[in-house]
Amino acid sequence: MTTLRQAAEDYLSLRRALGFKLHDVGSALVSFLAFCESEGATVVTTDRASRWAVSADASPTRAAWRLHVVRDFAVHHQASDPRTEIPPKDLSSYRHHRKNPYLYSDEEVGRLLRAAQELPPGKGLRHRTYATLLGLLAATGLRVGEALALDGADVDGQAVMLVVRQSKFRKSRLVPIHPSTLDRLQQYQQERDRIYPAPKTSAFFVSERGRRLPYGTVQGVFRRLREQLCLRGSSTSRRPRIHDLRHRFAVNTLIRWYREGADVERCLPRLSTYLGHGRCEHTYWYLTAVPELLCLATERLEQRSQP
């Protein structure tokens, strides 16, 4: 094992201990180290990082991300190897631009849930699982991974809330839910326990084999439902994603607050906490200026400006 490869493993271990998962970053660093070793290099240089970043016909977006990965590692590694060159931040001319998320209408969410309810039942649980899962994501704005990580004990019927454990950056939080959401979750739980009286997992949502639902499987089922319903984004937005239900929840929450006359600026930290964000700035990513939201915000501004 080369010194550079050992340093990369130590770097990844340290960051993972701090709560970062780094699945893609780890794979990218392994690729970069293989590139260095193919050239007999034991030192990180700007030139080498640049050539690796654009190798394999990487897109501008991918190349910029690759440079970012090497730069973070180089900053860490330079302390133990002064020969290390740190690629400049402006080495890539590419700048990331946020694409508009797809904001599902109430009618589209209803169609999505009905389509999930019509999935081939298998043992009789599959359609219930996906309809309940998608309904929960729409009603709470949970990350998909958070919903899939829920255990049966994490659905607290007494307190009417969910316990989200060790989520992004290893943070846990309590997520209050509407009584109607709890009712649907408990209905699913009863059906699940009827079909699998001796569960193979503690997971709340289970597959037809009685095991925790894999993330990739859920994404695949969602894509099939999306194509079946012919859901399409505009030319300026990406194709509808399951994660866009989280965007929809954030935007609809602000619209509701404006309608209720709430002080949205003071309420925003509550939304950040509910979504599991460490800072309000992270929540801004989920706020899209849809016409209704802009209209409500403008009306509020005009009311404040009146003498």
Positions marked catalytic = 143, 168, 243, 246, 277, 286
Q: How many CB atoms lie within 10 A of CB 200?
A: 12
Three-state SS at 178? coil
Burial of 138 (0-12, 13-18, 19+ CB in 10 A): buried
Helix (H) and strand (E) counts in the chain: 13, 3
Full DSSP string of 72-119 = HHHHHHTTT-TT-----GGGS-----PPBPP---HHHHHHHHHHHHTS
**C-alpha span between 246 and 248 (Å, rounded):** 5
Burial of 240 (0-12, 13-18, 19+ CB in 10 A): buried
74 in Cβ contact with 49 (< 8 Å): yes
Phi, psi dihedrals of residue 143, rounded to the nearest 5°: -70, 150
CA distances from 291 to 60, 87, 103, 294 (A): 32, 42, 12, 5
Assigned token pair, 6: 């050992």
Q: Name 151's Cβ contacts closer than 8 Å, sequence gap at least 6.
A: 165, 202, 203, 204
Assigned token pair, 303: 């009311």
